[in-house]
Amino acid sequence: MTELAQWLTTQTSDQALAGAILSMAAAGAELAAVLRQAPIAGQTGLAGSENVQGEAQKALDVISNDIVLNHLRANPAISILISEELDEAVHLSSQGAFIVATDPLDGSSNLDVNVTVGTIFSILAKAGGLLQKGTAQLAAGYVAYGPATSLVVRVTGDTSVFTLDDKGAWLLTVAAAKVPTASGEFAINTARERFWDEATTGYVQESVAGETGPAGKRYNMRWVGSMVADIHRILMRGGIFLYPLDSETVSKGGRLRLLYEANPMAWLVEGAGGRSTTGHEGILDVTPTGIHQRVPVILGSADEVRRVEDWYARS
């Protein structure tokens, strides 16, 4: 089976970029081992501190951030780290060519119940500065810590899936993920319905109306509450993920973060033939105004995303 380092030689001639991806993969492999043992090591529960966004940090949020930071610090190609867990961008190697933006442990509210969590990352050229559009990404990926540990990564070609074996090697298990164009599954936190806008309400109402409704088919709803798990399902078998702007998140610009959640996920989903939007423009076309900027996120199967876009165009 093809190993990650070998696959990278087919995706980029830039060895430093390949090295940056390998550093994130190594951080993911180390974190996978930590997560497997965390309840034994007493590492679940709160760390007693808050992150920059005022959210309580878990012990593992802090540990994950440290693991990623250590792997990136050891790689002189990495110039700057932007992390969900760190208020400011951290300057690493002065001669490095890359910025890495990461959510080191996404979905961490699920840790105490042993549900899949993940590490999301985006790699940018240092020369472009901290606030670059998603279209400028050089590569992006995530690690999903589930029944298997998966690394999903894309440079500029296909979105590929690797699985961590018991010797710590990342082996290619899906060469080119393809998000089916049509799907009958949507993912949204329906407990937020009272805050939704007309487009979101319209799309979901159409979907739950079933075979005799305007969508003409039956839908299922899935919501893990862990973006990596929800997006991984959509990459593998289709569907749509929505965390739209609603009346409660409007003052913040949305719920999920542009640089290290929305952009890398849009990069991966689009590389697999899916589509992404804020409702009004492609996620990858949003100009960031801050490193922790939030954005509405709608992405997945192209036909479903288009149906939401149609609602936004009409409302």
Does position 107 interact with ligand AHM (CB under 6 A)? The reply is yes
Helix axes 15-41, 59-73, angle to 10 degrees: 150
Q: What x-and-dash track marks residues 19-58 binding ligand AHM by CB under 6 A?
A: ------------------------------------x---
User: Which of Mg ion, ligand AHM, none lies near 78, with the C-beta cut-off 5 to 8 A by kind?
Assistant: none
Does position 189 interact with ligand AHM (CB under 6 A)? The reply is yes
DSSP per-residue string spanning 138-160: SEEEEEEESSSEEEEEESSS--E
User: Which of ligand AHM, Mg ion, none lies near 226, with the C-beta cut-off 5 to 8 A by kind?
Assistant: ligand AHM
The interface region with Mg ion, picked from 26-34, 78-86, 221-229, 254-262 by CB under 5 A, is 78-86
The interface region with Mg ion, picked from 48-56, 83-91, 204-212, 302-310 by CB under 5 A, is 83-91
Does position 230 interact with Mg ion (CB under 5 A)? The reply is no
Residue carrying the six token digits 């319905």: 193
Rounded to an integer, what distance in angstroms lies between the CA atom of residue 228 and that of residue 110? 12
Q: What x-and-dash track marks residues 97-116 binding Mg ion by CB under 5 A?
A: ------x--x----------
The interface region with ligand AHM, picked from 12-20, 24-32, 105-113, 208-216 by CB under 6 A, is 105-113
Report the residue number, 123 or 228, with the smaller CB distance to ligand AHM. Answer: 228
Rounded to an integer, what distance in angstroms lies between the CA atom of residue 223 and that of residue 188? 6
The least distance separating ligand AHM from the CB of residue 106, rounded to whole angstroms, comes to 5
Report the residue number, 64 or 137, with the smaller CB distance to ligand AHM. Answer: 64
Rounded to an integer, what distance in angstroms lies between the CA atom of residue 304 and that of residue 204? 11
The interface region with ligand AHM, picked from 91-99, 220-228, 273-281, 288-296 by CB under 6 A, is 220-228
- Return the residue of 11, 75, 108, 150 that touches ligand AHM, per CB under 6 A: 108
The least distance separating Mg ion from the CB of residue 108, rounded to whole angstroms, comes to 5
The least distance separating ligand AHM from the CB of residue 177, rounded to whole angstroms, comes to 19
The least distance separating ligand AHM from the CB of residue 107, rounded to whole angstroms, comes to 4
- Return the residue of 57, 160, 226, 301 that touches ligand AHM, per CB under 6 A: 226
Which residues make Cβ contacts (< 8 Å) with residue 129, sequence separation at least 6?
Answer: none
Site residues, ligand AHM (CB under 6 A) = 55, 84, 103, 106-109, 189, 225-227
Where does this chain bind Mg ion (CB under 5 A)? 84, 103, 106
